[in-house]
Amino acid sequence: MATGNKAPYKVYLEENEIPKQWYNVRADMKNKPAPLLNPATLKPMTVDDLSSVFCKELAEQELNNDDAYIPIPEEIYNFYKMYRPSPLVHAEFLEKALDTPAHIYYKFEGNNTSGSHKLNSAIAQAYYAKKQGLKGVTTETGAGQWGTALSMACSFFDLDCKVYMVKVSYEQKPFRREVMRTYGASVTPSPSETTEIGRKILKEHPGTTGSLGCAISEAVEVAVGTEGYRYVLGSVLNQVLLHQSIIGLETKVALDKLGVKPDVIIGCAGGGSNLGGLISPFVGEKLRGEADYDIIAVEPASCPSLTRGKFVYDFCDTGMVTPIAKMYTLGHDFIPSPNHAGGLRYHGMSPVLSQLYEDGLMRAVSVEQTAVFEAAKLFARTEGTLPAPESSHAIRAAIDEALKCKETGEEKTIVFGLTGTGYFDMVAYEKFNNGEMSDYIPTDEDLAKGFASIPDFGL
């Protein structure tokens, strides 16, 4: 409850205030996200086409541009109740440290064992796989949060879970791996000798430490080639943004309860799922002409898909086994420089967010990783929570906006998504604490190499 001008520190909703439906922002978009295409025929993928890779109901959700609201099945809702509603926190201590007139709030999604927002979609995807009678699912994981979330979700519904983990993080994050194995998942470092595409990539790039794009190719190959298995993905896809809309819907209920209207809404953007989920209901209001918000996507300067990428059709993976998507992309062969520690390393961006960005409904900024970890340190020391490096991109941008308010005297209300905790990112924090972290901004020539991998589909 709002107490005069002073908002309470934490806003927890009641259990019955968890939204009962996901919101599908595509229904309100005038320019729909471009359809996924079959790269051979350049025809739009149908539910039937997608059903060989994805569960049927998820394939339907992927292509559903019409229904604004989709009921959350009871089994998923009951799981959500284990860790939701998530708190909306008024960052009073951070405001004080910054000496800013701005009001800062964050929605914290790290309050579950997997430590990030990814569980919101993992549990939905595992539910639909179980409902279809499948034996298991395959996936890739980069930093490890998605694999962890999915292994929890699969263990809840008694499904097998095969995770292809980008080799560099498999080696850097042994404890993430063990959480996944504790929940029953099998974890293979990627690229691996267990798939055709993995063997090919290893032959062409011996000693490679892998990339998300390679791991996706391996996971898809195994899903398509194994009876009773489908592939699931933790970001980028329309269905994932749909599930993540729970973040934005809860945020809106909590802000409405406080009587607070945000001016600026900020989220970090890797593949776009947390940002898409957080902003969906607000963008919906914007699209319907009911309200206006300044929406900011924050990406790493070393993997700048929105701020420096091209809005074209490209493959979603390195091995070119997926359908093609029209999105902001750095090229499916793009791999960020090896000094990049902060996550958010995917070459492309959600087609929904790409279209919203193209249409001027949100803007994007890029930030350098030492500045991101400076923000993480200040946040940890003032607000108490040790943030994930990914989330800290949003913290950086929120702090920068609040500091601008200090200059102008504006009392803006800033809301940002704090997507997860940083407990498994201590290698990156160690580098930062030792003063060994550096920034690298790719040159136009570096980016040109990635762009050269984008095929000319003649579209």
Contacts to ligand PLP by CB under 6 A: 116, 118, 145-146, 235, 268-274, 344, 388, 390-391, 419-420
CB of 316 vs ligand PLP, minimal distance in Å: 13
What is 202-254 written as a DSSP string? HHHSTT----HHHHHHHHHHHHHHSTTEEE--SSSSHHHHHHHHHHHHHHHHH
Alpha carbon distance 63, 61 (integer Å): 5
- What is the token pair recorded at 276? 């898409």
Residue type, 53: V
Distances (CA, A) of 330 to 167, 323, 458: 21, 17, 18
CB of 112 vs ligand PLP, minimal distance in Å: 11
Q: Find out whether 383 and 391 touch, Cβ atoms under 8 Å.
A: no
Residue, CB closest to ligand PLP: 420
Residue 54 vs 146, nearer CB to ligand PLP: 146
Residue 118 vs 308, nearer CB to ligand PLP: 118
Q: Find out whether 25 and 280 touch, Cβ atoms under 8 Å.
A: yes
Residue 273 vs 329, nearer CB to ligand PLP: 273
Residue 397 vs 405, nearer CB to ligand PLP: 397
CB of 193 vs ligand PLP, minimal distance in Å: 27
Strands 160-166 and 136-141: parallel
Q: Helix (H, G, I), strand (E, B), or coil: what is residue 368? A: coil
Residue 124 vs 269, nearer CB to ligand PLP: 269
CB of 443 vs ligand PLP, minimal distance in Å: 25
Closest CA to 242 of 419, 71, 360: 71
CB of 272 vs ligand PLP, minimal distance in Å: 5
Q: Find out whether 244 and 277 touch, Cβ atoms under 8 Å.
A: yes
Q: Is 133 exposed, middle or buried (0-12, 13-18, 19+ CB in 10 A)?
A: exposed
Element spanning 145, H or E? helix 145-156
- What is the token pair recorded at 291? 């309200």
Alpha carbon distance 72, 392 (integer Å): 30
Residue 90 vs 118, nearer CB to ligand PLP: 118
Element spanning 119, H or E? helix 119-131
Residue 222 vs 349, nearer CB to ligand PLP: 349
Cα end-to-end span (Å), the chain: 53
Strands 264-268 and 413-418: parallel
CB of 65 vs ligand PLP, minimal distance in Å: 20
CB of 359 vs ligand PLP, minimal distance in Å: 19
Residue 143 vs 312, nearer CB to ligand PLP: 143
CB of 376 vs ligand PLP, minimal distance in Å: 12
Helix 74-83 vs helix 119-131: angle between axes, to the nearest 10 degrees? 150
Residue in the structure block whose two tokens are 């800033």: 414
Helix 119-131 vs helix 145-156: angle between axes, to the nearest 10 degrees? 40
Residue 134 vs 240, nearer CB to ligand PLP: 240
Residue 314 vs 412, nearer CB to ligand PLP: 314
